[in-house]
Amino acid sequence: MAETVLQINKLTKNFGKLCAVNQLDLEVKRGQVFGILGPNGSGKTTTLGMLMGVTNPSSGSFSWFGEPSTHFTRKKIGAVLEHPIFYPYLSGQKNLELNAMIKGANPANIAKVLDIVELSARKDDKYKTYSLGMKQRLAIASALVSDPIILILDEPTNGLDPMGIAEIREIVKRIAADGKTIILASHLLDEVQKVCTHFAVLRRGKLMHSGPVDEVGKGEETVEVMAYHDDLSVLLQEFVGSATIKKENGIFQVMMKDGFHSQDLNKFLFEKGIITSHLVTKKKTLEKQFLEILAEAH
């Protein structure tokens, strides 16, 4: 089993009456790219702020590497929480040199991190001439300059065009391949599916789900179906999308095979001349559930 790098226990943050993070439990293991997924206002930034020691928890706790968070443990963590302050008239290289000095990091790391974020060719240009994507990449470079074990990113692709988004995703994968553990907040399921290995879903500060990303597309729908027809049972078994069929309280429960949905079953029955009197999707795939959570307005 991989080592636990972060353990969160009942972490809570109240802002007055508003509970921004509600009894959150999470575990992140070494080598994971862990996504914190949730719609706007679900508590992602507040959670990351607590983990970085910039927001005080109302209650609960967390530990890094099995120890309570201290200045020393935080030195092993690099974070891009908000747009960091860079000097506009200095080059990317000079900004990173200043950064390394402030953090007591080895300046020899600078060339490597510039390479990772693909800014080596532009390192001598002034920061103010950088595109938004380049600024974001320099922020990642600055978080990496002290060679942290863990990298925390809050919505790293926000505001970028598709090209910029793709670049950041490649960089995140490269950093993960380099052996770092990454914690990344996002409101996009697609982003989490593309770059994360594990993830948690937050909704109004509450944990709705956590697990490996490859589970997301899985999980079958169960469709409740009823029709006044003697052969319904036989026909349900004929349907190619049926995995198992049960009858409960006079209603058929059809567990669908992966990729089949209630509309497929409805169409099949209709083509057989059967009009259902009852047709309800009961269990939805995780993907559908999350898309519904993410689409919630706040």
Shorter beta-carbon distance to ligand ATP: residue 15 or 87: 15
Give min distance, CB of 75 to ligand ATP, in A: 24
Q: Does 181 bind Mg ion (CB under 5 A)?
A: no
Q: Does 45 bind ligand ATP (CB under 6 A)?
A: yes
How far, CA to CA in Å, does 88 sit from each of 116, 143, 248, 280? 22, 18, 68, 58
Q: According to the 3-state scheme, what is the secondary structure of 159-195? A: CCCHHHHHHHHHHHHHHHHCCCEEEEEECCHHHHHHH
Q: Does 15 bind ligand ATP (CB under 6 A)?
A: yes
Could you say which of 2, 3, 10, 18 contacts ligand ATP (CB under 6 A)? 18
Q: What are phi and psi of 64, to 5 degrees?
A: -100, 130
Q: Does 122 bind ligand ATP (CB under 6 A)?
A: no
Stretch that binds ligand ATP, among 13-21, 108-116, 137-145, 208-216 (CB under 6 A): 13-21
Show contacts with Mg ion in window 193-212 (CB under 5 A).
none
Maximum C-alpha span of the chain: 80
Q: Does 22 bind ligand ATP (CB under 6 A)?
A: no
The site that binds ligand ATP (CB under 6 A) totals a number of residues, namely 12
What span, in angstroms and rounded, lies between the C-alpha atoms of 192 and 48? 16
Give min distance, CB of 36 to ligand ATP, in A: 8
Q: Does 156 bind ligand ATP (CB under 6 A)?
A: no
What span, in angstroms and rounded, lies between the C-alpha atoms of 296 and 235? 38
Cβ-in-10-Å burial (0-12, 13-18, 19+) of 284 comes to: middle
Closest by CA position to 140, among listed 108, 180, 194, 101: 180
Q: Does 187 bind ligand ATP (CB under 6 A)?
A: yes
Among Mg ion, ligand ATP, none, the one that 187 touches (CB under a kind-dependent 5 to 8 A) is ligand ATP
Stretch that binds ligand ATP, among 43-51, 190-198, 243-251, 256-264 (CB under 6 A): 43-51
Could you say which of 22, 32, 45, 91 contacts Mg ion (CB under 5 A)? 45
Q: Does 44 bind ligand ATP (CB under 6 A)?
A: yes
Shorter beta-carbon distance to ligand ATP: residue 44 or 137: 44
Q: Does 20 bind ligand ATP (CB under 6 A)?
A: yes
Strand order across the beta sheet in which 198-203 lies: 77-80, 150-154, 181-186, 33-37, 198-203, 206-212
Q: Closest CB to Mg ion belongs to which residue?
A: 45
How far, CA to CA in Å, does 103 sit from each of 109, 144, 162, 180? 12, 11, 33, 19
Among Mg ion, ligand ATP, none, the one that 180 touches (CB under a kind-dependent 5 to 8 A) is none
Shorter beta-carbon distance to ligand ATP: residue 35 or 41: 41
Shorter beta-carbon distance to ligand ATP: residue 38 or 148: 38
The b-or-e profile of 261-283 (16+ CB within 10 A means b, else e) is: bbebbbebbeeeebebeebebee
Give min distance, CB of 19 to ligand ATP, in A: 8
How far, CA to CA in Å, does 290 sit from each of 51, 207, 213? 24, 12, 12
Q: Which residues contact 158 (CB under 8 A, 6 or more apart)?
A: none
**Residues of this chain that bind ligand ATP (CB under 6 A):** 15, 18, 20, 38, 40-46, 187
**Residues of this chain that bind Mg ion (CB under 5 A):** 44-45
